[in-house]
Amino acid sequence: MRAVRAEGTTPEMRVRQAVHSLGYRYALHRKDLPGKPDLVFVSRRKIIFVHGCFWHMHRCRHGKISPASNVDYWRSKRERNRQRDNEHLQSLRAADWKVLVVWECWTRDMPCLSKRLADFLE
């Protein structure tokens, strides 16, 4: 668990590279916003979260994997992550922020990711 990072992960770096290549500038990990978003576009009032499929229980095959040992612990931990994510999204949307959640599996196809990011940021 010590090796699991919250910031500077490979999927996050791919998203940052794609956004930068599109010509956008952003703030990182704003502590004053719920959930400490990965990328914040203050002037556009838009936020991007980059979620790992396993940790946040995405519907893809990576998110459906469940550890064979200590099943109850992992299920409750991942479910708490999902609940916390929903709370953060609701509070940000209530504060009039537009939010995009980018899943780790999306970062494997850079052209598709760039298109999604461009559509969101336009």
Neighbour order of strands in the sheet with 46-51: 27-28, 39-41, 46-51, 98-103
Domain CATH number, residue 45: 3.40.960.10
DSSP class per residue in 4-48? --SSS-HHHHHHHHHHHHTT---EE--TTSTT--SEEETTTTEEE
Report the candidate in 56, 51, 64 with the shortest Cα–Cα distance to residue 107.
51
pLDDT digits (tens, 9 = 90+) for 18-64: 999 999 999 999 999 999 999 999 999 999 999 999 999 999 999 89
Domain count, the chain: 1
Residue 100 included in any domain = yes
Percent of the chain residues past pLDDT 70, beyond the cut: 95
What's the pLDDT at 1?
52
Residue 23 included in any domain = yes
Residue 1 included in any domain = no
User: Could you tell me the residue range of the domain that residue 110 belongs to?
Assistant: 10-121
Arithmetic mean of pLDDT, 109-122: 97
pTM of the model: 0.90
